[in-house]
Amino acid sequence: MGIKDGVDHQLSGLVRSINEGAIRHQLSGGSIVLIPSMGYSPSGETFHLDVDVVAREVACALSADKLIFMTEQTGLKDITGNLISEIDLSDTRTGDVSLEPLTEKLLSHCDQACRQGVARCHIISFATDGALLEELFTRDGCGTQVIGNSYEQIRTASIEDVPGILKLIAPLEESGALVKRSRELLESEIQQFVVIERDGLLISCAALYDYDTSGELACLVTHPDYRNSDRGDRLLDAIEKAARANDIVELFVLTTQSAHWFTERGFSESNREALPAGKKEFYNDQRSSTVLRKALRD
């Protein structure tokens, strides 16, 4: 770091480079790579590095799926002291969220990581037993998830989205994966849809149809160029939230080609007899779709 404002930082160093190839090599062999906060200069000197910066730089070099900070704090808190379970960096940039000053440094690491290709960051407590499992495998987690890809927006669809949705679903209707929907039908049902928009382009959509205490999740689609980056999961999450808000206690889905996707996310196989009356009478015998159900718990 040298001398800054007259203070000689002596053996405190900055990250110069990450040996990404070596890390990837170890990872591909199934190893867990532990990286200390010590750096070595080409001339053989040892430097102490900021551990959060090392973590951030390694995550960026690997374009990691996640960067998880295990800290003294449970997560980020707002000024009233309440835990924020999910935060979109665009909200913090526009000042919509006020944070405790202590959390700003961590958040700026998350911000830089997200700008450099890390999909998600998490801030969790190292003092909470099971925090990692709870954060990664429960719906609300126990710390704070930081979302950086704010140029992607998940939102309820509006009438202007009809052409984009038609374009997104057309190839799947042709292949038989989805039932055909006319423009008129889509226009009349548009408020049931949730979409993900990226740079003005609709890349993912899903719909929720209300059958009293049951809800049908339908038309879940991600554009082939954007698959396998959790967008389907994010839409399912949004649909489940909307369903709970409408007092729906159970979701069902009819699918011909994606049954496994749903069973891996808590759905289990059911049959047409279990469908709500309004849906059962329109069950298409020719398609013979698999019926799957999932109970929504609070």
Ligand X SMILES: CC(C)(COP(=O)(O)OP(=O)(O)OC[C@H]1O[C@@H](n2cnc3c(N)ncnc32)[C@H](O)[C@@H]1OP(=O)(O)O)[C@@H](O)C(=O)NCCC(=O)NCCS
Query: Where on the chain is the footprint of ligand X (CB under 6 A)?
Result: 172, 177, 218-222, 227-233, 253, 255, 257-258, 260-261
Question: Toward ligand X, which CB reaches closer, 143 or 232?
Answer: 232
- Strand partners of residue 68: 122
Strands 120-125 and 66-71: parallel
Of all residues in the shown chain, the one whose CB is closest to ligand X is 232
The single-letter DSSP state of residue 117 is T
Q: Which of 261, 244, 252 is nearest to 297 (CA)?
A: 244
Question: Toward ligand X, which CB reaches closer, 123 or 220?
Answer: 220
Minimal distance, residue 33 CB to ligand X, in Å: 21
| AA letter at 133 | L
Question: Toward ligand X, which CB reaches closer, 191 or 257?
Answer: 257
Minimal distance, residue 235 CB to ligand X, in Å: 8
In the chain, beta strands by DSSP E: 3-4, 7-8, 38-40, 46-48, 66-71, 86-88, 120-125, 144-147, 152-156, 193-198, 201-211, 214-222, 250-255, 268-269, 290-295
Minimal distance, residue 174 CB to ligand X, in Å: 12
Minimal distance, residue 292 CB to ligand X, in Å: 10
Query: Which residues fall within 8 angstroms of residue 2, CB to CB, at 6 or more apart?
Result: 8, 9
Question: Toward ligand X, which CB reaches closer, 123 or 254?
Answer: 254
Question: Toward ligand X, which CB reaches closer, 230 or 250?
Answer: 230
Minimal distance, residue 277 CB to ligand X, in Å: 21
Q: Which of 29, 115, 112, 99 is nearest to 69 (CA)?
A: 112
